[in-house]
C-alpha cells in the first residue's frame, strides 16, 4: 500500500514537472543568465498591415524589449493574419501558443457585452477621450474581464474613428443605407446600428474582408482610414463617407500563465516594452490615419463624401435610441462614465 502510494505521488510529481516545462517551453527557451533575464522568444500575432498604429506599436515594443534584454528576449511579430486570424488568435493566446495579441475590442462582445463600447455611435470625439475612458476605472475593469479564460488585458492602443465605404451609392443621409449589406467586426451593437438604418450586416474576419468586398458578398464596411488604405479596400469600393461614428480600439492581451511565469527581471523589461509600444501607438495613431486619408484622396479611386455637421446630426438623431437600448446591456455606470468624458 505504502509503495503503491509513493509510486503514485512520484508519478503525479513527474506529470506536474513535465507540464510546467511544457508551458514555459511554449514561450521561452533557457532560463537564467547573470542579470536574471530569461532567454526566450515571444510571439505577437495580429491581423492588420504594417503601416498601421497597431503594427507600429508592436515594432516599438519589440525594439525596446530586444535592446534592453541584450537580445535575450526575442519578439516575433506576425502581421496580416499571417500566423492566426480573427477566428483563432484568441484561442491560441489562451493555449499560450502566442503570448500577445492586440485585437479590436468590439470583437469580444460575445465574451462581455461591455466590449461594445467602441461601437456606441458618436460617443468619443477623438483618441484622447477613448484613451481616458480605457485608462480609467471602468475601462480597466472591462479590460480585466477575460481573466476567467486565463487572459490579462495590459493596455489600450487606439486606432481611430471609423468611416463607411460601399460599392452601391453615395451615402449622405440615413435613408441611403436602406437595403445595403455591411460587414462588421462583431455582432450586437454594430448589428443594431445597421438594423436601425434599415441595412443588413454580417461579421466577417478582417483577413477575408478584401475578397468579400471584391466579390460583393457584402456591399460595404466601416473602418479607419489606415485600415482602409493599407488593405486597399478603397480600390474595390466606389464611395467613402467620412463618418467618425464608431471606433477601432485595441487592447494588448497576454496569457496569464505566461505573464506570471516570468521572473521579475524579465517581466520588468517586457512591461516597459509594452509601455513603449503604448506610447508609440498612441502618439502615431492620428498621424497614420491622416496620412492614409491623404493617400486615399490622392489615389482618386473612390468618391469621398465629407458630411456637413447638419448631415452628421441626422445620423446622430436616428442612432440616438441605441443609448437607451444598450444602457443595461453595457451597464449604466460604464456608459455614464464614458458620457462624462465625451462631454469635455
Ligand atoms: C477590422 O476587423 O476591421 C479591424 O478591427 C481590424 C483591426 O484589428 O484593426
Q: What confidence tier does 187 reach under pLDDT thresholds 50, 70, 90? A: confident
Q: Which of 157, 158, 165, 185 to mutate to test the pocket of ligand 1 (most atoms within 8 A of CB)?
A: 185
Q: What is the pLDDT of residue 320?
A: 98
CB 248 less than 6 A from any atom of ligand 1: yes
Name the residue among 168, 172, 178 with its Cα closest to residue 220: 168
Is 13 a member of any domain?
Answer: no
Q: What is the pLDDT of residue 20?
A: 43
H/E stretch holding 56 reads helix 53-68
From the CA of 102, give the closest atom in ligand 1. 8
Mean pLDDT of 37-65: 98
Name the residue among 341, 156, 166 with its Cα closest to residue 243: 166
CA of 225 to the centre of ligand 1 (A): 11
* Locus of grid cell 448589428: 191
Distance CA 133, CA 8 (A): 52
Q: What confidence tier does 34 reach under pLDDT thresholds 50, 70, 90? A: confident
Q: What confidence tier does 26 reach under pLDDT thresholds 50, 70, 90? A: low
Q: What is the pLDDT of residue 22?
A: 47
Tell me the pLDDT tens digit for each residue of 61-82: 999 999 999 999 999 999 999 9
CB 48 less than 6 A from any atom of ligand 1: yes
List the CATH number of the domain containing 293.
3.40.190.170
Is 4 a member of any domain?
Answer: no
From the CA of 227, give the closest atom in ligand 1. 9
Q: Which residues of 112-146 are buried (b: 16+ CB within 10 A; e: fewer)?
A: bbbbbbbbbbbbbeebebbbbbbeeebbeebbebb
Q: Which residues of 248-260 are buried (b: 16+ CB within 10 A; e: fewer)?
A: bbbbbbbbbbbbe
Q: Which of 54, 223, 230, 232 to mutate to test the pocket of ligand 1 (most atoms within 8 A of CB)?
A: 223
CB 108 less than 6 A from any atom of ligand 1: no
CB 266 less than 6 A from any atom of ligand 1: no
Q: Is a pLDDT exceeding 80 seen at residue 4?
A: no
Is 279 a member of any domain?
Answer: yes
What is the average pLDDT value for the chain, to the nearest integer? 93
Q: Which residues contact 272 (CB under 8 A, 6 or more apart)?
A: 64, 65, 68
Q: Which residue has the least CA distance to atom 5 on ligand 1?
A: 104
Domain that holds residue 216: 27-342
Query: How does DSSP assign 240-305, residue by residue?
Result: EEE---SEEEEEEEEEHHHHHHS-HHHHHHHHHHHHHHHHHHHHHHHHHHHHHHHHHHHHT-SEEE
Is 17 a member of any domain?
Answer: no
Q: What is the pLDDT of residue 75?
A: 98
CA of 325 to the centre of ligand 1 (A): 25
CB 185 less than 6 A from any atom of ligand 1: yes
Mean pLDDT of 235-264: 98
CB 101 less than 6 A from any atom of ligand 1: no
Q: Is a pLDDT exceeding 70 seen at residue 258?
A: yes
CB 47 less than 6 A from any atom of ligand 1: yes
Q: What confidence tier does 123 reach under pLDDT thresholds 50, 70, 90? A: very high
Q: What is the pLDDT of residue 30?
A: 57
Is 18 a member of any domain?
Answer: no
Q: What is the pLDDT of residue 21?
A: 42
Distance CA 270, CA 264 (A): 10
Q: Which residues contact 169 (CB under 8 A, 6 or more apart)?
A: 176, 180, 239
Tell me the pLDDT tens digit for each residue of 79-117: 999 999 999 999 999 999 999 999 999 999 999 999 999
**Which of 3-7, 48-52, 74-78, 215-219 is predicted with the least confidence, judged by mean pLDDT?**
3-7
CB 106 less than 6 A from any atom of ligand 1: no
Tell me the pLDDT tens digit for each residue of 299-331: 999 999 999 999 999 999 999 999 999 999 999
CA of 238 to the centre of ligand 1 (A): 20
CA neighbours closer than 13 Å in the CB half-sphere of residue 221: 31
Is 22 a member of any domain?
Answer: no
210 to each of 51, 158, 264, 299, how far by Cα in Å? 17, 22, 43, 17
Q: What confidence tier does 23 reach under pLDDT thresholds 50, 70, 90? A: very low
Residue 41 pairs in a beta bridge with: 74
Is 20 a member of any domain?
Answer: no
Is 5 a member of any domain?
Answer: no
In the structure grid, which three cell numbers stand for residue 36, read together? 536574471
CA of 220 to the centre of ligand 1 (A): 14
CB 134 less than 6 A from any atom of ligand 1: no
How many structural domains are present in the chain?
1
CB 225 less than 6 A from any atom of ligand 1: no
Amino acid at each position: 500500500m505504502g509503495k503503491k502510494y509513493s509510486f503514485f505521488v512520484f508519478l503525479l510529481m513527474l506529470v506536474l514537472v513535465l507540464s510546467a516545462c511544457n508551458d514555459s517551453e511554449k514561450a521561452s527557451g533557457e532560463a537564467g543568465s547573470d542579470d536574471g533575464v530569461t532567454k526566450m522568444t515571444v510571439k505577437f500575432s495580429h491581423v492588420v498591415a504594417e503601416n498601421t498604429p497597431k503594427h507600429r506599436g508592436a515594432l516599438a515594443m519589440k525594439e525596446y524589449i530586444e535592446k534592453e534584454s541584450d537580445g535575450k528576449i526575442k519578439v516575433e511579430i506576425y502581421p496580416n493574419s499571417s500566423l492566426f486570424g480573427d477566428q483563432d488568435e484568441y484561442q491560441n493566446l489562451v493555449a499560450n501558443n502566442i503570448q500577445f495579441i492586440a485585437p479590436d475590442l468590439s470583437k469580444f462582445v460575445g465574451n462581455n457585452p461591455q466590449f461594445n463600447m467602441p461601437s456606441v455611435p458618436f460617443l468619443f470625439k477623438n483618441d484622447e477621450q477613448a484613451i481616458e475612458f480605457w485608462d480609467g476605472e471602468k475601462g480597466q475593469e472591462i479590460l480585466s474581464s477575460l481573466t476567467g479564460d486565463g487572459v490579462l488585458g495590459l493596455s489600450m492602443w487606439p486606432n481611430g474613428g471609423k468611416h463607411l465605404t460601399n460599392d452601391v451609392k453615395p451615402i449622405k443621409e440615413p435613408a441611403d443605407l436602406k437595403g445595403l449589406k455591411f460587414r462588421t467586426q462583431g455582432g450586437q451593437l454594430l448589428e443594431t446600428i445597421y438594423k436601425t438604418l434599415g441595412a443588413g450586416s454580417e461579421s466577417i474576419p478582417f483577413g477575408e474582408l478584401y475578397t468579400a468586398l471584391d466579390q460583393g458578398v457584402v456591399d460595404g464596411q466601416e473602418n479607419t482610414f489606415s485600415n482602409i488604405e493599407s488593405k486597399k479596400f478603397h480600390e474595390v469600393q466606389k464611395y467613402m463617407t467620412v463618418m467618425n461614428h464608431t471606433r477601432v480600439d485595441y487592447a494588448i492581451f497576454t496569457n496569464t500563465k505566461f505573464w506570471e511565469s516570468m521572473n521579475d527581471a524579465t517581466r520588468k523589461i517586457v512591461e516597459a516594452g509594452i509601455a513603449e509600444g503604448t506610447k508609440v501607438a498612441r502618439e502615431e495613431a492620428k498621424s497614420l490615419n491622416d496620412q492614409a486619408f491623404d493617400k486615399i484622396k490622392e489615389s482618386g479611386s473612390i468618391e469621398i463624401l465629407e458630411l456637413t455637421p447638419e448631415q452628421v446630426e441626422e445620423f446622430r438623431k436616428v442612432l440616438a435610441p441605441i443609448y437607451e437600448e444598450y444602457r443595461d446591456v453595457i451597464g449604466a455606470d460604464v456608459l455614464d462614465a464614458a458620457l462624462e468624458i465625451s462631454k469635455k
